[in-house]
Amino acid sequence: MNLSIKKISINEKGFTLIEVIVVLAIISILSAVTFPSFFLGLKKNKFEEMKAILNQYASQCLEKYRQNEKIKKVLPDSFQGDQKIINTGYKFSDNPNCSELFVEPINTDDESLFKFGFYIGPQTGKFLSYGEPSSGIKDSLDMCYSWAGSNCNNKNEIKAFRNLEKMERGKTKCINTFLSSRNNGTNGALVTWDDEFNSCSKIVYIVDGYIYESEDEFDLMNAQLSCQKWISNKENDKFTGKAKYSDCGSKSYFFYNGIEVGSRVNMDYEILKKDLKICETAIERKRINNFSGPFFFNNGKAPKGCEKVWICQKVIYKTEDAFNNSACGAQ
């Protein structure tokens, strides 16, 4: 076997060590610039995906609030737990519900990721987006701003939100207590909500379910109702006569058989009509029963128009002479 050694020509060129070093340096520089941007883009895409899911959940939760559901005890209709969002790099925070729904990064070592989500007030229905980005990382702050705006790391906004909820709870309790007392027939001074001072401090007055804002109005209406009740009692008692009552003012009332007739003249007229009717009925009864002779109603105390009469064979005579000229008189 013949072995031959190939001679390398001085004109055949390869990569020198310097060239290799330069190429590797360029690749390293490009990698340092490109790879972080690439991975940041992936994170932003995952963040946008998580935002879309939270927006969907927020819409469903607000609808539940509008339907008067207790949103602290319910979840969005399409909620599937961590299973639905695991590919985004996030997981749900503890005890998720429609009043407080947050996600947090699975990888807690990645400072560009952060906890974010939303609150919905069970009392007010107010929606508040919120996030807790790392304050020193611009990309994290930018992502949070796209979700929560100026609410990022804004503890004062959370405090204001909770204070509003607390005030609304107090308002609801105050109004419900007031309405319960009113519906139960309580009369007099009651306390209700004062919108001017945002406190349960407004005093109003109730008379038979009607609300009056001044004590003078209350006293006037209370007196009117008391007067009406007094008149109603006179009606139930079938009272006849003159009467006065302090809550009805200085006016004198004239009643006949429980009916207020307006004046003494009217009352006397109604009494006279009644007495005449009784008298006439008594005379007619005597006539039908074949009474013969003079008849004095009520021992001669008959009302005017129903004086003494004489009866003969069912005939009534107004004078004694006429009676004497009758068959009974001849006897």
Per-residue pLDDT reduced to its tens digit, 154-203:
999 999 999 999 999 999 999 999 999 988 988 889 999 999 999 999 99
H or E element, residue 254: strand 253-256
Q: Is the pLDDT at 15 greater than 70, yes or no?
A: no
- Between residues 222 and 285, the one the model is more confident about: 285
Tell me: pLDDT of 258 over 70: yes
Task: Give the closest residue to 166 by CA, choosing from 126, 217, 211.
Answer: 126
What is the pairing mode between strands 127-132 and 188-194? unpaired
Q: Is pLDDT above 70 for 22?
A: no
Q: Which pair of structure tokens corresponds to residue 205? A: 């007055």
Model confidence over 196-255: pLDDT tens digits?
A: 999 999 999 988 888 888 888 888 888 888 899 999 999 999 999 999 999 998 999 999
Strand ranges (DSSP E) for 60-133?
A: 90-92, 100-105, 115-120, 127-132
Q: Which of 79, 63, 54, 75 has its CA nearest to residue 146?
A: 54
Say how far apart CA 166 and CA 193 lie, in whole Å: 14
Confidence of residue 10 (pLDDT cuts 50, 70, 90): very low
Taking alpha carbons only, the member of 92, 137, 81 closest to residue 117 is 92
Sign, CA dihedral 254-259-260-264, equals: negative
pTM, entire model:
0.60
Q: Is the pLDDT assigned to residue 65 strictly greater than 80?
A: yes
Secondary structure (3-state) at 104: strand
